């Protein structure tokens, strides 16, 4: 692993826990996580995470109806699938008798 300077610059980004990374590397990491990849400390006070969370919250508000509709559809499909599985299991039990 390459050493990174300790200050925030164009070539380094220091997290609130003190660990420093190349900006491209930590931005890639922050796409899926809000914690430091080294010590696992939450980075909720980091400006990048604050911005990311604000965007996610805004998107949830904008698409709230679509998300609810999708969640209902998923629940309906799961119920249907369970009924199919139960029916198939009952058929197999009946055939085995």
Strand, coil or helix: 9? strand
Average pLDDT over residues 35-53: 96
pLDDT, tens digit, 9 for 90 and up, residues 7-39: 677 789 999 999 999 999 999 999 999 999 999
Dist. CA 83–CA 34, nearest whole Å: 39
Q: Which domain holds residue 37?
A: 1-44
For the chain, give the mean pLDDT.
Answer: 86
Q: Hey, how many other C-beta atoms are within 10 angstroms of the C-beta on 36? A: 19
The structural domain count of the chain equals: 1
Query: Taking a C-beta distance cutoff of 8 angstroms, is the pair 13, 23 a contact?
Result: yes
Q: Give the CATH number, domain containing residue 27.
A: 3.30.40.10
Query: Is the residue at 89 inside a domain?
Result: no
For residues 20 and 1, is the Cβ–Cβ distance under 8 A?
no
């Amino acid at each position: 692993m390459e050493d990174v300077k300790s200050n925030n610059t164009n070539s380094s980004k220091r997290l609130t826990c003190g660990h420093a990374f190349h900006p491209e590397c930590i931005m890639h990491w922050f796409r899926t996580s809000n914690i430091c990849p080294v010590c696992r400390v939450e980075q909720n006070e980091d400006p990048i995470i604050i911005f990311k969370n604000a965007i996610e919250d805004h998107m949830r508000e904008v698409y709230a109806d679509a998300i609810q509709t999708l969640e209902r559809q998923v629940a309906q499909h799961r119920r249907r699938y369970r009924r199919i599985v139960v029916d198939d299991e009952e058929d197999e039990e009946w055939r085995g008798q």
